[in-house]
């Protein structure tokens, strides 16, 4: 891994995690770790270009069909690929197919850029995801194998204790807060070989008093009504939160630093 490299372009491929949910800006748009990473890289390199093709709710097959070819043609220095986790959260999931599609994505992207970056996505602590954890870990094992085969970098967010803390996750319990995204950006930054700005990004938050029973029940009811039931409804009807939604930054163009303010 090169120390303090000078990359000139970045393309981000994936789903809601890479789109930036739930790092909400005042104008109602999402920022997220990829925008924060691009801002850092742009501050070092005049004319730095950035594209973010990620769209919330996308499955790995949709990422391959809609984003991978576009990203490969852009010829960026760095491409980040995070996908497949939405598939593992579906009641019926063919992990052989998911891993096959992820393999196809890596095989197409790795030769098209100077550095491909893959991730072991963060996993929130709590009972909701426990039933899906074996699938997630099977996916991450595939990520590691593909990275070794194609000289890709792997950012291990799943193994970072800090990112398992529920306080770094939004009320929907599926997406990181602004602080969570900041830590992910730092993790990717360091993995690419840049000098750390926050060496302790993986350090857990200070202990906090557990919430009262009543507060937990109120939060559970709000979560179920506002997030869980709509999510189940989309699964049952074959809909996605990203249906008809374009990529946030579909062109590889110069990145203005005030975009993240």
The strand order across the sheet containing 249-254 reads: 153-156, 115-120, 78-82, 9-14, 49-52, 249-254
Q: What is the mean pLDDT of the chain?
A: 87
What's the confidence (pLDDT) of residue 236? Answer: 56
Domain residue spans in the chain? 9-206, 209-241
Q: How far is CA 115 from CA 81, 146, 247, in A?
A: 11, 13, 22
Quickly state the pLDDT bin for 6 (edges 50, 70, 90).
Answer: confident
What's the confidence (pLDDT) of residue 186? Answer: 98
89, 128 in Cβ contact below 8 A?
A: no
**Cα separation, 23 vs 231, whole angstroms:** 19
Handedness of CA 61, 65, 70, 73 (dihedral sign): positive
What's the confidence (pLDDT) of residue 75? Answer: 96
21: nearest Cα among 254, 221, 159, 227: 227
- Where are the strands (E) in the chain, listed by range? 9-14, 49-52, 78-82, 115-120, 153-156, 249-254
Q: Which residue has the tokens 């939060």?
A: 219
**Cα separation, 88 vs 90, whole angstroms:** 6
* Predicted confidence (pLDDT) at residue 67 exceeds the cutoff of 60: yes
- The dihedrals phi and psi of 122, each to the nearest 5 degrees, come to -70, 150
**Cα separation, 55 vs 62, whole angstroms:** 10
**Cα separation, 114 vs 110, whole angstroms:** 8
- The reported pTM is 0.87
Kindly report the number of other CB atoms within 10 A of residue 63's CB atom.
27
* Predicted confidence (pLDDT) at residue 10 exceeds the cutoff of 80: yes
Q: Which residue has the tokens 């699964």?
A: 235
Q: How far is CA 36 from CA 105, 120, 133, 198, in A?
A: 24, 19, 28, 14
CATH, domain range 9-206 = 3.40.50.1110
What's the confidence (pLDDT) of residue 258? Answer: 65
What's the confidence (pLDDT) of residue 261? Answer: 47
pLDDT in tens, 225-261: 554 555 556 555 565 566 678 999 999 999 987 655 4
Quickly state the pLDDT bin for 62 (edges 50, 70, 90).
Answer: very high
Assign 155 to helix, strand or coil. strand
Q: Which residue has the tokens 């700005």?
A: 197
Lowest-pLDDT range, 74-78, 133-137, 211-215?
211-215
* Predicted confidence (pLDDT) at residue 115 exceeds the cutoff of 60: yes
pLDDT in tens, 154-185: 999 998 989 989 889 887 778 999 999 999 99
What's the confidence (pLDDT) of residue 244? Answer: 74
* Predicted confidence (pLDDT) at residue 200 exceeds the cutoff of 60: yes
What's the confidence (pLDDT) of residue 232? Answer: 57
* Predicted confidence (pLDDT) at residue 188 exceeds the cutoff of 80: yes
- Residues for the chain: how many in total? 261
Average of per-residue pLDDT across 2-6: 71
Residue 112, preceding peptide bond in cis (omega within 30° of 0): no
Lookup: tokens for 252: 């590889």
Please give the residue that has the higher pLDDT: either 4 or 113: 113
* Secondary structure of 122-161 in HEC code, one letter for each residue: CCCCCCCCHHHHHHHHHHHHHHHHHHHHHCCEEEECCCCH
What's the confidence (pLDDT) of residue 89? Answer: 86
What's the confidence (pLDDT) of residue 90? Answer: 86
* Predicted confidence (pLDDT) at residue 202 exceeds the cutoff of 70: yes
């Amino acid at each position: 891994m090169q120390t303090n490299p000078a990359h000139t372009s970045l393309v981000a491929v994936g789903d809601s995690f890479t789109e930036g949910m739930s790092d909400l800006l005042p104008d109602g748009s999402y920022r997220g770790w990829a925008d924060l990473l691009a801002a850092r890289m742009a501050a070092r390199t005049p004319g730095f270009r950035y594209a973010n093709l990620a769209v919330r709710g996308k499955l790995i097959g949709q990422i391959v069909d809609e984003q991978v070819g576009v990203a490969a043609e852009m010829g960026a220095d760095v491409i980040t690929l995070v996908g497949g986790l939405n598939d593992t959260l579906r009641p019926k999931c063919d992990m052989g197919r998911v891993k096959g599609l992820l393999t196809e994505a890596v095989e197409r992207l790795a030769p098209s850029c100077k550095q491909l970056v893959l991730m072991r996505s963060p996993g929130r602590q709590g009972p909701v995801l426990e039933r899906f954890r074996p699938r997630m870990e099977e996916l991450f094992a595939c990520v590691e194998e593909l990275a070794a085969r194609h000289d890709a970098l792997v950012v291990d967010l799943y193994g970072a204790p800090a990112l398992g803390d529920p306080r770094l996750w939004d009320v929907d319990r599926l997406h990181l807060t602004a602080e969570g995204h900041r830590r992910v950006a730092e993790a990717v930054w360091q993995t690419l070989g840049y000098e750390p700005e926050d060496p302790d990004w993986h350090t857990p938050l200070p202990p906090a008093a557990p919430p009262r029973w009543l507060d937990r029940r109120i939060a559970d009811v709000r979560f179920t009504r506002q997030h869980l039931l709509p999510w189940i409804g989309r699964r049952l009807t074959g809909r996605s939160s990203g249906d008809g939604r374009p990529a946030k930054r579909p062109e590889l163009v110069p990145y203005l630093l005030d975009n993240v303010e």
